[in-house]
Structure 1
Amino acid sequence: MPVTLRPLRVAAAQAESVAGDLDANVATAVHLVSAAADWGARVVVLPELFLTGYSPQAWLPELTTTPDDPRLEPLASAARERAVVVVAGAAVRRSGPDGSAQRFTLSLLVVDEAGEVTAPYDKQHLFDTERAFFAPGAQGASIVVDGWELGLGVCYDGCFPEHARAAAEDGARAYLCPSAYVAGSEHRRDLYYAARALDNGIYVVFAGLTGRCGGLDFSGGSAVYDPEGRALGRAGIISPAAVVADLDPVEVARVQAENPIARDRLGSLGGRSRVVVAGPRP
């Protein structure tokens, strides 16, 4: 007999990150996770590169991390003690099969309720200066929590409709997208992720970096969008802060049935014709 999917409470959390200070950022993450757990959150999403800091000056080999980094233990302990799953952005160091070659990825670390840390997703669409240090990810990824398939993306990924669409087509009912938007880009921030929710009839959990990190100012705006693209809550620029919301499988099913974009999307738009209906004026 199939298990009935129940609502899932999630938190999109934000705070200031200190460029290059993993210990300080882990301590802040533990605070955010504990507060979200007090509100009943089962999944806590933290911003892009939160554990490393979104600052090119902090993107150095010696400041990267790995899933087995002992400095992550306080965050692993918090996840274990509060029985939550944590998704947090970090600069990750990856070795080749022989242990010699190294590359650096802008990744999501996932800490499960047993305190195990993995790095299942590397950002595929790198933005601007990120390309100078990070290697792009080669594939999409989802995690499953209490039967909920949750697609993973990072910031610029969510600007491309096909990224969230691939997750939804693979069964995701929600798309988690940690991000870092500089102050002044709020109009784009508030459009992209609402659109990804509406495009696919799924929830989108957006956790945005806020405050100053290195030489940049970030706009926060953490939010959870429902399957019709409406913000169930938004955090503004406050630090620390979190938006907590329940993801409802019934709502996903209702919206996808009433607005079946996935079903009605054409596999191909065919060729293109061009008809000149008026020439240039003399």
Structure 2
Amino acid sequence: MGVLVLLFALGTAAAPESPPLELLVDRRWPAAAGVRLGDTVRLRAVGGAWQPAVVVGIFERPADPSRLARNAFEVRLHLPDWEGLGGPPDAVDRVAVRVRAGADTAALRAWLETTAVGLRVVPTAAVAEASGATFRVIARFQRAIAAVALGAAGVFLACVLLLRVEARRHDWATLRLLGVRAGTLRRAVLLEALGVAAVGTVLGLAGGWGAVNLVNAYYARVYDTSVRFAVWTPAVAAQAALLGLGLGVLAGAWAAWRLGRLPPLRLGERG
């Protein structure tokens, strides 16, 4: 279709010989260029004639991550008006067809490809799969970072619990000599580990929720878009909570095992 040039029409311009086109502009135009509903602008394709157009509406761009790199200002016209701006008639590079739920898309695809030579019909799922390679790589990278972070957190929690057990060996030895069963002490260590893990999980969930909102607010301001760069869902929160509590139980079980395998007299020894 060519490059579209959009300019303001002067208020003293001559009356157009033909009715003006109807134009939709994306939400960023009013702030960037002062375009408002009812304004008359002039537009043309490169090499074409200027044509007047009236702004009849404002639309919000779809939340499409693939458009962020270009981040161009967009306008919309009726298809015949687009064609009239320039370029060969009855020719398009690509179109999108929306079908009803339950429609036989395979049969529709086969029929459409027989209507014109060289026409190729591609499902939107295939287009998304091809254009989402970069985002899949980023997702794998984020999962790797999460795995490393979880492993480091588990080791740190186990070390903290082990240090607490070692610091209280005299107390454990006294309790054992007084007749407290080893199983009772193990359960106490497990409950302590579970409590530490629960507090850490709550703090981590709160920090993650705040980070998600901060990231989305920052990049929404930078790109002026409704795309969500970070997502917080109940499923993600539940998974994080289960992993946090599970790591706490494993770390507590290890510390409790080290505590319970020593006889009471050995518990009072240092080192």
Q: TM-score, normalised by structure 1?
A: 0.19
Larger radius of gyration: 2
By percentage of residues, which structure has more strand?
1
Q: TM-score, normalised by structure 2?
A: 0.20
